[in-house]
């Protein structure tokens, strides 16, 4: 198999072709992939943004051709914005595998004349989700997005546990939270903090507005404006709001001391 897509709602992406290696990220349902090699039941895959890792081959299905892969890879025009989104057959009466999709899952959605949105996985494979669960993206980006939208979305996940490599409400790492929330509006960011730090334009820390990215040593979060930040923190046990202002009850001195830069992406 040269080109593939993910058939489970969420799978791990591993650093090496074995389950006890490092989880470096995860892959959402339907994600189109280039398969560069196979080993011991794993496929080394490359995402459309160039990110690579090893995925369980049992959770992948093959695109029939290069043309089909490209058609799908270039056709993402929506995202699950209200998850979990149940997956149905064409009639909308029976639940089918993978049964639900996580918030943030990018979708290739066709016409939605009724209450069901048609999600295309390939020329021959389609499933259906409730239209109200989907955010349509105009030109791959949601119209009129502002920083407050990103903050409001991130706040939906307060209390979600920290998970190294996590990109979903089942568990986020710091860059996974930022990437998934931004991606739900069609705003595409790199996977890792070390690459996200090169996005947008640099601003002063005291200029930060809601939706700006604040970077620390090996960490990233979303500014809520002023001194407040929402982030997925291993030290905080998951998605939390903290302050960078001395004297506040939720002040994080470790972050205050390790601040690197602020970036504006909108």
- Positions marked catalytic: 174, 219, 231
- Give yes or no for a contact between 241 and 255, defined as CB atoms under 8 angstroms apart: no
DSSP class per residue in 44-109? EEE-TTS-EEEEEGGGEEE-SSHHHHHHHHT---EEE-SSSEEEE-TTSSSEEEEEEE-TT-EE-B
Q: What is the chain's length?
A: 266
Q: 10 Å Cβ neighbour count for 66?
A: 11
Could you give the CA distance from residue 105 to residue 94 in angstroms, rounded to a whole number?
Answer: 21
Could you give the CA distance from residue 265 to residue 145 in angstroms, rounded to a whole number?
Answer: 11
Backbone torsions φ then ψ of 50, nearest 5 degrees: 95, -5
The closest alpha carbon to 34, from 66, 10, 58, belongs to: 66
Question: How many Å is the maximal CA-CA distance in the chain?
Answer: 60
- Give yes or no for a contact between 211 and 257, defined as CB atoms under 8 angstroms apart: no
Could you give the CA distance from residue 196 to residue 213 in angstroms, rounded to a whole number?
Answer: 9
- 8-state DSSP, 16: S
């Amino acid at each position: 198999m040269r080109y593939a897509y993910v058939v489970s709602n969420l799978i791990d992406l591993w650093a090496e072709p074995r389950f006890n290696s490092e989880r470096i990220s995860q892959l959402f349902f339907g994600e189109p992939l280039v398969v560069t090699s196979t080993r011991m039941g794993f496929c080394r895959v490359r995402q459309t943004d160039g990110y690579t890792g090893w995925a369980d081959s049992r959770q992948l299905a093959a695109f029939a051709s290069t043309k089909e892969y490209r058609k799908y890879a270039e056709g993402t025009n929506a995202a699950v914005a209200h998850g979990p989104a149940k997956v149905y057959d064409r009639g909308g009466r029976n639940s089918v595998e993978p049964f639900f999709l996580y918030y943030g899952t990018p979708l290739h959605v066709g016409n939605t004349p009724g209450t069901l949105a048609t999600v295309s996985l390939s020329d021959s494979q389609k499933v259906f989700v409730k239209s109200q669960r989907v955010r349509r993206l105009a030109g791959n980006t949601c119209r009129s997005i502002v920083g407050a939208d990103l903050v409001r979305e991130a706040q939906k996940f307060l209390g979600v546990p920290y998970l190294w490599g996590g990109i979903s409400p089942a568990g986020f790492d710091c860059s996974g939270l930022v990437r998934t929330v931004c991606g739900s509006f069609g705003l595409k960011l790199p996977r890792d903090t070390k690459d996200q730090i090169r996005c947008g334009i640099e601003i002063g820390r005291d200029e930060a507005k809601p939706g700006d990215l604040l970077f620390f040593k090996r960490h990233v979060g979303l500014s809520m404006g002023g001194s407040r930040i929402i982030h997925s923190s291993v030290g905080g046990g998951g998605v939390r709001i903290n302050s960078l202002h001395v004297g506040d009850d939720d002040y994080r001195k470790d972050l205050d001391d390790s601040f690197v830069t602020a970036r504006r992406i909108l």
